Structure 1
């Protein structure tokens, strides 16, 4: 009798429907898929928003490192690109909202994932507030009538009493608008951020060309330390790198919108990388243009006035205001993108009953297809953070610095478990699994292999982890020049460590209460992952 020889199983067919793909993770399609390829890119690019953040923070970087602070930009870009490559791999394998929380949970278990998501939510809420307050650096410069506190003749500098209070009013007004848009639907959000990105890209090109044609010096000035603060240069250079670190975050926003993106396994990895790469190139050109066109590098005006001062001094009132209008559009798009990203993170955690009031926060409106409550919560949380600026702008400046440290810490909660999973899979390969422990037979929506770093994965991942750990230390270092603008408030100088420690302590209480209330570990979809090995987690 002949025994038939079993044939190898054919490769898994490409995903035929986004709804079915999501169901393999145990989720119903509740959010509406209204995000295309460009809108996905726009979400990440708007979060980074080089016009918003470079304008806002150019003076900070220059005040420490002088012209040589330029070199912090490519250094941070390379480090973040390694992180983005790791995120692109995970985005192809886990196209689920609340990406940072989901990825960390599926790699390291839901306890680690919960704290990663908790830190990310706090960082996102603070980032929304930081983005919204940037209007103060733009609108009064366009028209003095935007200075509502004290009238058109009042000091509009964000650090002045009248400027700080006006920043709260403008920021809260912007948050009302972005919250309403987030509630209406993802299609409107995608359309507005896409338009905003087009305007921002055109604005960056126009600004670079305009400043380059008014150059005062050669680009070779970046090889000098002209304009740097006195003292040993290495500590100053490390402090100046905070500007680049502040800017190049949020490229993962495309992953937060995975459940609302068409063909996310194919689209999201590409848009994550494109958003960071284009932002890196545009920001580099902006910095060079600002340095070569600045009237002076040594009289203190560049550190205090930043790029806005260079723009108005070189292009005059009319030309400067036109380009500042593009910056205002970028601020709007940035605030909208960050708020949307934060609301999806809260929704993803609440859907797993991982947060208080989960039944409300995890609900999706049948009419708009959006998580209404989470959009409101993120908007209100950002407004509360903004209110701190009313009487003490130094406190808000500290919070703005802390929020980026929180984001880097949350990113580390993904890349470090991912590295552990890679090493385990490398030492004890499991048949049918790729280098991150995922089903190797899975393909994207076009039937092509999922984005993968292949053999370079461990090396890329390891350097990314080292970079992120170093940046967390650098960001949280208690520098008085960053955290204590009052010059003598000890708790402000140490506010990063105090805030992070307090956030983790409060998070531990919330998480413990939640576990007791729901009788144990969080369950992701239909798969209890807390006790699973990282190489086995989440693979459909």
Structure 2
């Protein structure tokens, strides 16, 4: 055991927990975990066609807007994790800043958002697998491919923190090099549009005001710009977490969103007919652009890199979900806590929590084989749930400050703490309100309001479970001690 590791373990004991993980994830590997969770390629490739059709080329500005807004939220996270570098991220942060009940609800919402994200990203990979091997992506074979991806991710995660770190780093290298190479080739040799096109909505509002159309495209930036919090989910597996994790979180946004903007710009400028994408005549603009630029063989090579990005993203999502479930169980906050908090003595990972995350994601994907629209609505809840969980941390930080919290971690905002927290809350609530707007057009009411109903169902079910089962009362682990002595919350 190194001196740094001994100091980190001593700090963890002072926070009320004993070390059970290996601290062998370096700063760069921790960053790679956050980057592959954020995944510029997954974010851009998943929603590019939808965003162009909704908001036209100016939708690219949402990457910058989301990056600024989420960086403000990230700074709050940096300050909190620096003082409380505990596995599980959002849940233990809320526990120490407010108390058990608030933490329980934050973990419930964030946990279901992670489970549905695993399913959603896995499902997003299926069409690329179908294109790679030349078969039609039907609901059944797409579901089977997605479940296979979840199984591969689960097995990889079970191999231990070092394997997770190495695969995340490999995914980061492949993704960033692939994004740079593909983007550069498209910009240099297959450009069809001027840069000024990102200011031209191409009539997407059909003669009406453009602002509603632009707001409808916000999801493209909001969907991409999270994942940095995963760096904190593995705080007990990273040396000197109070310094390393804030650096990794901020770098995830700097590099990840810069790559997203670059990839999106390259794709927009390579489109020969943007109007065809907007009016629905071209439904696969990314595949069409890649085929025109790289041909059949080159396109397959690009798709392989894309699939590595999807797999890395699922891997990082599952790592985050399992650490959250483990942290929940360690504090006896959920049914089957004794089973869920078991850590492998060989690989030092929460094996049962990993298995649970894989099984829940697979179950959602099985439903998708038969009820595609319903599951699409459930999966779309993931983004809202993540943002809601984020804002529960921001509100927790504001609550703790009002109660007298004086951050004493290695990363501190000082006098900027209050304004950064307030602006972060305004940003996050505005983003959630935008995402919860009911869909327009000719959609039936249950699809228009599907995301709202799913979000409400998750919150209400959590409240019912919390009130009836009182899971937050089963443990005397520290709570609310950011601003007062050890308390029951």
Please classify the TM superposition score into its range, dividing by the shorter chain length.
over 0.9
The corresponding residue for 2:427 is 467
How far residue 227 of structure 1 moved from its aligned partner, in angstroms, is 5.8
Distance of aligned partners of 1:533 and 1:138 in 2 relative to their CA distance in 1, 3 Å threshold: same
The corresponding residue for 1:72 is 62
How far residue 492 of structure 1 moved from its aligned partner, in angstroms, is 2.1
How far residue 15 of structure 1 moved from its aligned partner, in angstroms, is 8.7
Unaligned runs of 5+ in 1: 1-12, 145-151, 157-161, 426-435, 443-449, 482-486
Q: TM-score, with normalisation over the residues of structure 1?
A: 0.85
Q: CA RMSD in A?
A: 2.0
- Per mean C-alpha deviation after superposition, the further-off stretch among 307-316 and 362-371 is 307-316
For 1:302 and 1:365, the matched residues in 2 are separated by: 52
For 2:351 and 2:185, the matched residues in 1 are separated by: 42
The corresponding residue for 1:420 is 399
For 1:68 and 1:191, the matched residues in 2 are separated by: 37
Contact 2:59 2:220 in 1 (8 A): no
For 2:348 and 2:38, the matched residues in 1 are separated by: 26
Equivalences for residues 68-467 of structure 1 within 5 A: 68-144=58-134, 152=135, 154=136, 156=137, 162=138, 164-213=139-188, 214-226=190-202, 228-230=204-206, 231-300=208-277, 304-425=283-404, 436-438=405-407, 440=408, 450-467=410-427
How far residue 511 of structure 1 moved from its aligned partner, in angstroms, is 2.0
Q: TM-score, with normalisation over the residues of structure 2?
A: 0.94
For 1:119 and 1:488, the matched residues in 2 are separated by: 27
Distance of aligned partners of 1:229 and 1:166 in 2 relative to their CA distance in 1, 3 Å threshold: farther
The corresponding residue for 1:498 is 453
Size of the aligned set, in residue pairs, is 481
How far residue 537 of structure 1 moved from its aligned partner, in angstroms, is 6.0
**Structure 2 residue corresponding to 1:25, chosen from 9, 15, 35:** 15
Contact 1:256 1:345 in 2 (8 A): yes
Distance of aligned partners of 1:533 and 1:194 in 2 relative to their CA distance in 1, 3 Å threshold: closer
Secondary structure class of the residue paired with 1:33? coil
Structure with higher Rg: it is 1
List 4+ stretches of structure 1 deviating above 6 A.
none
The corresponding residue for 1:523 is 476
Unaligned runs of 5+ in 2: none
For 1:182 and 1:314, the matched residues in 2 are separated by: 36
The corresponding residue for 1:433 is none
Distance of aligned partners of 1:306 and 1:423 in 2 relative to their CA distance in 1, 3 Å threshold: farther
The corresponding residue for 1:52 is 42
Contact 2:5 2:23 in 1 (8 A): no
Query: 1:425-484 deviations in whole A, cap 9, x for unaligned?
Result: 3xxxxxxxxxx423x4x6xxxxxxx11222122111111100100111111111146xxx
Contact 1:388 1:396 in 2 (8 A): yes
Secondary structure class of the residue paired with 1:299? helix
Distance of aligned partners of 1:21 and 1:419 in 2 relative to their CA distance in 1, 3 Å threshold: same
**Structure 2 residue corresponding to 1:512, chosen from 448, 463, 467:** 467
For 2:415 and 2:54, the matched residues in 1 are separated by: 40
Contact 2:82 2:242 in 1 (8 A): yes
How far residue 422 of structure 1 moved from its aligned partner, in angstroms, is 2.7
How far residue 16 of structure 1 moved from its aligned partner, in angstroms, is 5.4
- Per mean C-alpha deviation after superposition, the further-off stretch among 83-92 and 226-235 is 226-235
